[in-house]
Every structure is written in C-alpha cells, then in structure tokens.
Amino acid sequence: MTMGGARIIRCPACGGPSRYAADNRFRPFCSERCRTHDLGAWASENYRVPAHPEPQEQEPGGEGEARH
C-alpha cells in the first residue's frame, strides 16, 4: 500500500502502520517509542543472533603428551 508516494509497512515493534519514506526519521518504525523499545531490547540482549561454537582445535603432538 502507498500513501502519497511512500510505502506503508507494518511497524516491526507494534504491528501498526508505518510510512517507509525518507521523511520518517523513525523508519521502519512508526514512532520514536517503537524505535526506542526495539533498541532497548537489543541492548538488554532480548534479541540474539544464533552462533555455532567454533570446533576445538587439537594441539600438535596428540592428546597424550605433557604440556610445557
């Protein structure tokens, strides 16, 4: 949907309508409140990017040798 040349999208925080245009300084959010709420969620680690643990490398010489 468009409104005056700007696309209307769903606000990722509240689900309400948001103008996706250069003059909306909060885009893709609908308001400063929604933008701040989302930033706070990232800062408090409510959102996390999944990561896979690195495989452990074996040290040269095998497992049975004493470390110096």
SS3 content of the chain, % helix, strand, coil (to 5): 20, 15, 65
Q: What's the rounded mean pLDDT across residues 14-18? A: 95
- 24's tokens: 């909306």
Which one, of 53, 59, 31, 43, lies nearest residue 12 by Cα? Answer: 31
Residues 6+ apart with CB under 8 A from 1: 7, 8
What is the predicted pLDDT for the residue at 10?
Answer: 97
- How distant is the alpha carbon of residue 24 from its chain centre? 20
- 39's tokens: 């930033």
Beta bridge partners of 8: 19
What is the predicted pLDDT for the residue at 34?
Answer: 93
pTM of the prediction?
0.59
Structural domains for the chain:
2-43 (3.30.50.10)
